[in-house]
Amino acid sequence: MEMRTLGNTGLEISRLGAGLSEIGSRLSLTDEDTAARVLNGALDGGINFLDTSACYGISEELIGRTIAHRRHEYVLATKCGHITGGYAGEEWTAKTVTDSIDRSLERMRTDFIDLMQLHSCEVDVLERGEVIEALHVARQAGKIRFIGYSGDNEAAQWAVESGIFDTLQTSFNLVDQRARTRLFPQAKAKGMGTIAKRPIANGAWGVSKSPSAYADGYFERAQIMAGNGLIPNAPKDRILLALGFTLAHDEIDTVIIGTRNPAHMQANMELVEAELPINPEAVEALHRRFDEVGKGWVQLR
Asked if pLDDT for residue 69 goes beyond 90, the answer is yes
Q: How confident is the model at residue 21 (pLDDT cuts 50, 70, 90)?
A: very high
Asked if pLDDT for residue 24 goes beyond 90, the answer is yes
Q: How confident is the model at residue 164 (pLDDT cuts 50, 70, 90)?
A: very high
Mean pLDDT of the chain: 96
d(CA 204, CA 288): 19
Cis, peptide link before residue 277, omega less than 30° from 0: yes
Q: Closest Cα to residue 184, out of 250, 281, 272, 115?
A: 250
- Whether 72 and 43 have beta carbons less than 8 Å apart is answered as no
Asked if pLDDT for residue 61 goes beyond 90, the answer is yes
Q: Closest Cα to residue 174, out of 259, 237, 236, 238?
A: 238
What is the CATH number that goes with domain 3-292? Answer: 3.20.20.100
